[in-house]
Structure 1
């Protein structure tokens, strides 16, 4: 299917917001009887979710017949500011941007996306000053919620942030403080242990910007809790990356590659961080990298926890990447062992501010594998490139789409988040 017609009124599941005018045309009746099995074959040849939605929104018969098929996962989607979406194409480029309507109860011009899991995204809105109802505060987050971009189901989370200079009774009650201060700065990353509709218990973990003079903070929540569990520690300081792996929460200090393993003790409905272990403090020595800076991320790939490290020339502010290294972590040793790898067995990794995702690229003929896609994030807003694991080469990625990220103060940027939904 071509991408020329931008049906912004069609949801990802093929449900149009308004009834298509062409559905009543006489020509549609000639195709209305198309067998569901044939529609399933057609959908399997469409790797982009937007194209699958266009097929389903042709008419109500195709919409009904297009569901219920076991399809390979669609190509990754990039969630951009203002709730705009762009699907990756089979050639590895981004398709035209389209906006997907959000539920009215969470719609806002300043809506930010700070994480994703399967079909769900994590959204936040700015905090509003109660004394001046029309004034928003960009230095704090207001409402936080989970939104299913297919069904548009909304799960509201307890309010997390407060104002640094106003510790009202409402703030203290909303933040059930266990350790640290009753203030959480704007969220930068939120991860989930499972999808909310998976039938299993799920945990939501959020990290915030670091406030000068204060320790980094983590906030944890699961259904049944009326407030967040707040943790802070002086040793966990700086931009963080979060990941769930083998029942533990891993916290990575990105600019130092210091890795912490957190054991979560389940309760009903509360839970606690029962133990925090520092399991990695340094990378293998490379003489050529002395004096440089690094930025690191984690990703779970085929049952392994990987560490992705970008090395920069001279200092961290320099936007030039010297090289990229990928290590498989051996969690059976103390400290964890590192083995450098040079292949994803045809898969691709997608790195962004909402965490890293792996994708089985080999499912689609013609889609190149063993690549890492980097897009802007709060740690490195100028990194927009694709890295080839096989030969170590780097090439630009969607440069025109990200022109808006250059020359804008970091605090005013809404960084994109990768969404990898299943069908």
Structure 2
């Protein structure tokens, strides 16, 4: 009698949810965008747990491009999206992962990724140092002018007063450049505080940018002087305040000159940390001016870039020819960052930049109605459009495009 045939045991069906956590981590490291990582975590509880476990080891995702109408782009994708449940339209600035919404009764920072909110004081609530400070004026005939120079007391009542740059330096320290047009001053507060603090008689400067670098706050002015902002605590309230602003590097700036071909360079400066160094990026926007005896607008054309590293030991700026073969600088008036991109298979040594001027800080016009972000190659010294399919109208409310960095969560 023949033995009965043994039936093979059926193998259980494999599921994507059974992927080993280590392998899931390798997959996550190859996803360059916040949107991709969010989709990965939404597949199942196991993948969500893998994403949480790997969060601290993952390289930061590429930034989002935010527009004030509530539209976002998740680079390198070119399809616009909106966060579900809230459009986040109407922000006035951005800082890392925060969108900034000034209101008459205060300022609100919102993280669109976690929906966390931080409150800051209104610009009308500022604690003066000294508390009895007053504006000092002189007159020359019918002309009234600030004496001996413009201070916070000369600009604090202007209807055009606004935040041009805001940094969350730490959980207990917020710094802001606040002013009108090109003239601004540095204010400080704690999150949730009732007022800002300002040195009322310090001279307002044409500040271009600020950066919190290795535990210190730095600012660069249009003359390319690098300033360090020393911070202390108010003895009665414990609130942070500026104790002194000192110069650490004297700049060697150039100033606009009209060339024979009727072009003139207009300058923008950015401060950004890159490869552990503090960098100043000088952007020249080459503009066409009307010829002699002709009337017309100053029109912006192409841009060029120079990068300088702060040499603190010798108190000087040192020009560099590269930002790193694996690095990309994302430059914007509101927020700038340096990021490694080699793990995503993207070329480095490039600068991604925005045309994000403010109405009261612009010296030129544009021929084209639409704009996008541009990409400058440090290696080839050339510019191309970052993504032809990503564009927005170049009008007042849309100058405020900004990079948003979700890795700060």
Asked if the contact 2:377/2:383 (under 8 Å) is kept, the reply is yes
2:277 aligns with 304
Asked if the contact 2:88/2:112 (under 8 Å) is kept, the reply is no
Displacement of 1:216: 2.0
Gaps of 5+ in 1: 1-27, 128-141, 163-173, 197-201
Asked if the contact 1:310/1:321 (under 8 Å) is kept, the reply is no
Displacement of 1:30: 4.1
The answer to which structure has the higher strand fraction is 2
Q: Which has the larger radius of gyration?
A: 2
1:187 aligns with 163
Displacement of 1:32: 3.8
Question: CA-to-partner distance for each residue in 1:9-55, whole Å, 9 max, x for gaps?
Answer: xxxxxxxxxxxxxxxxxxx9944444433332322221111111112
Asked if the contact 2:285/2:300 (under 8 Å) is kept, the reply is yes
| Distance in 2, Cα, partners of 1:275 & 1:289 | 40
Would you say how many aligned residue pairs link Structure 1 and Structure 2? 344
TM-score (norm 2): 0.73
Gaps of 5+ in 2: 1-12, 130-151, 290-297
TM-score (norm 1): 0.71
Displacement of 1:232: 5.6
Displacement of 1:182: 4.5
Cα distance change, pair 121–233 in 1 and its aligned pair in 2 (3 A): farther
1:21 aligns with none
Displacement of 1:352: 0.8
Displacement of 1:375: 0.9
Cα distance change, pair 37–211 in 1 and its aligned pair in 2 (3 A): closer
| Distance in 2, Cα, partners of 1:311 & 1:59 | 49
Selected match of 1:332 from 292, 313, 327: 313
Selected match of 1:87 from 58, 70, 74: 74
1:39 aligns with 24
2:322 aligns with 343
1:265 aligns with 232
Asked if the contact 1:236/1:253 (under 8 Å) is kept, the reply is no
| Distance in 2, Cα, partners of 1:233 & 1:400 | 49
Cα distance change, pair 231–96 in 1 and its aligned pair in 2 (3 A): farther
2:40 aligns with 55
Q: Does 1:175 align with 2:132?
A: no
Selected match of 1:64 from 49, 55, 59: 49
Question: CA-to-partner distance for each residue in 1:120-158, whole Å, 9 max, x for gaps?
Answer: 30421443xxxxxxxxxxxxxx54223333332212122
Cα distance change, pair 159–65 in 1 and its aligned pair in 2 (3 A): same
Displacement of 1:204: 1.0
| Distance in 1, Cα, partners of 2:113 & 2:205 | 36
Pairwise CA RMSD: 3.3
| Distance in 2, Cα, partners of 1:35 & 1:391 | 43
